[in-house]
């Protein structure tokens, strides 16, 4: 990896996150701003209340879509920049829109470390913390939010230790694991020893494990042993990547890791431009193929079908555009935007009565706080004026 480019990209991403922060905050009328919501649940397993910060994708409230979930450790520290990366990549079609559930800390030594050693008195609660996540937190999130059966776990430092522990102890709890500078020399390299005995020859469904390390020499021996074990066993259906970013520090590496880790995980998510020329059937086939990789049904997104329709519209192939927009309505009947797009196609085809009908439906469905609301209303008013004249 070109280290100069890495530094440059880090700076660029920092600027992007600052910019996205401005875009993501939603005003509530009282000059207050929010990026997500706080959720508190009473854990019987941990015998304490636990607080999570939850980021919901743009358009969540007005859609019926289900979303993958990224569970983030050290949530209070990493919620803002990780949510920004998720929003940035998903807004450009490089990954799916994703819910972020950031778990705030109470005692990270207790929660993240699998055994107790004397110099860290509260350590050793990882088993209970994993049970809390699998038996209480995940069911709560899946009962209260619209989720797909795809989960990602992200952890840094001791959080990376826990991420590795979860991968070895209960691998089916998550589908993908991102471990950032994991402290694998904990308790005389306990997890390395564990990996020797529990790594299977094959996983029942596809798994992804992405591990990074900065300029952190004490971490290297244990991580090198762990990497060697993974590579030697080479379990079937596991995509494993280890990257050492030698110009990054323990503090600077989390942001880059999340960006590159998600970018690699979803490397074939982005729809090739050529598919738009091949039509909707080819586009549907693309999403069927990535459904097989991610182990759940992934529908062709509304915005992709809309882009196909506008591709026809720009080429003045109005009948094709109308057909595609009508199909988008069949698939996403609760969306205001799909009716507005169909209205635009009818208007360009000089079918003004049908254009007005669809613009009116868009205005009926759109929420007042939707940034497109004023555009939809102007489109309807333009058609009404044609008939008034």
Which tens digits make up the pLDDT trace of 132-168? 999 999 999 999 999 999 999 999 999 999 999 999 9
Mean pLDDT calculated for residue range 102-108? 98
Query: 3-state secondary structure string, the chain?
Result: CCHHHHHHHHHHHHHHHHHHHHHHCEECCCCCEECCEEEEEEECCCCEEEEEEEECCCCCCCCCCCEEEEEECCHHHHHHHHHHHHHHHHHCCCCCCCEEEEECCCCHHHHHCCCCECCECCCCCHHHHHHHHHHHHHHHHHHHCCEEEEEEEEEECHHHHHHHHHHHHCHHHCCEEEEECCCCCCCCCHHHHHHHHHCCCEEEEEEEEEEEECCCHHHHHHHHHHHHHHHHHCCEEEEEEEEECCCCCCCCHHHHHHHHHHHHHCCCCCCCCHHHHHCHHHHHHHHHHHHHHHCCCCCCCHHHHHHHHHHHHHCCCHHHHHHHHHHHHHHCCCCHHHHHHHHHHHHHCCCHHHHHHHHHHHHHHCCCCCCCHHHHHHHHHHHHHHHHC
Q: Compare 5 and 330 and report the one with higher pLDDT.
A: 330
Q: What is the mean pLDDT of residues 47-54?
A: 98
296-355 pLDDT per residue, tens: 999 998 989 999 999 999 999 999 999 999 999 999 998 999 999 999 999 999 999 999
Predicted local distance difference test score (pLDDT) of residue 127: 98
Residue 32 — very low, low, confident or very high, per pLDDT cuts 50/70/90? low
- Grade residue 30 by pLDDT with cuts at 50, 70 and 90: low
Q: What is the average per-residue pLDDT within 48-55? A: 98
Domain with CATH 3.40.50.1820 in the chain: 3-265
Q: Band of the pLDDT at 18, cuts 50, 70, 90?
A: very low
Q: Is the pLDDT of residue 116 over 60?
A: yes
Can you give the pTM of this predicted structure? 0.86
Residues of the chain with CATH 1.25.40.10: 301-388
Average pLDDT of the residues of the chain: 91
pLDDT value of residue 306? 95
| CATH 3.40.190.10 assigned to 3-265 | no
Predicted confidence (pLDDT) per residue in 247-266, tens digit: 999 999 999 999 999 999 99
More confidently predicted of 28 and 311:
311
Residue 15 pLDDT class (50, 70, 90 cuts): very low
The correct answer on CATH 1.25.40.10 for the domain covering 301-388 is yes
């Amino acid at each position: 990896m070109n280290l100069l480019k890495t530094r440059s990209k880090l700076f660029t991403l920092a600027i992007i996150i600052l910019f996205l922060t401005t875009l993501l905050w939603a005003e509530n009328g009282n000059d207050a701003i929010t990026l997500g919501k706080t959720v508190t649940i009473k854990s019987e397993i941990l015998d304490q209340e636990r607080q999570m910060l939850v980021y919901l994708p743009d358009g969540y409230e007005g859609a019926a879509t289900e979303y993958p979930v990224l569970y983030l450790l050290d949530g209070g520290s990493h919620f803002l920049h990780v949510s920004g990366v998720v929003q940035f990549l998903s807004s450009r079609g490089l990954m799916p829109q994703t819910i972020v559930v950031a778990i705030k800390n109470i005692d990270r030594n207790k929660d993240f470390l699998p055994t107790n050693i004397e110099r860290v008195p509260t350590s050793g609660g990882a088993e209970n913390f994993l049970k809390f996540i699998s038996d209480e937190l995940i069911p709560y999130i899946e009962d209260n939010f619209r989720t797909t059966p795809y989960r990602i776990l992200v952890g840094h430092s001791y959080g990376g230790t826990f991420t590795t522990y979860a991968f070895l102890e209960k691998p089916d709890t998550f589908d993908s694991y991102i471990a950032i500078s994991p402290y694998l020399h904990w308790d005389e390299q306990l997890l390395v020893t564990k990996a020797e005995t529990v790594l299977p020859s094959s996983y029942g469904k596809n798994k992804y494990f992405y591990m990074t390390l900065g300029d952190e020499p004490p971490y290297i021996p244990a991580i090198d042993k762990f990497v060697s074990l993974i590579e030697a066993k080479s379990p079937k259906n596991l995509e494993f990547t280890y990257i050492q970013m030698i110009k990054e520090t323990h503090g600077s590496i989390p942001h880059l890791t999340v960006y590159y880790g998600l970018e690699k995980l979803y490397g074939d998510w982005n729809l090739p431009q050529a598919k738009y020329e091949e039509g909707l059937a080819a586009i549907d086939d693309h999403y069927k193929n990535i459904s097989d990789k991610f182990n759940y049904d992934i529908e062709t997104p509304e915005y992709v079908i809309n882009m196909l329709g506008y591709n026809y519209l720009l080429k003045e192939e109005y009948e094709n555009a109308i057909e595609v927009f009508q199909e988008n309505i069949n698939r996403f009947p609760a969306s205001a935007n799909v009716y507005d797009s169909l209205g635009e196609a009818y208007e360009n085809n000089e079918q003004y009565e049908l254009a007005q009908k669809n613009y009116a439906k868009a205005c009926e469905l759109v929420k007042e706080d939707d940034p497109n609301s004023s555009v939809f209303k102007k489109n309807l008013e333009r058609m009404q004026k044609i008939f008034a004249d």
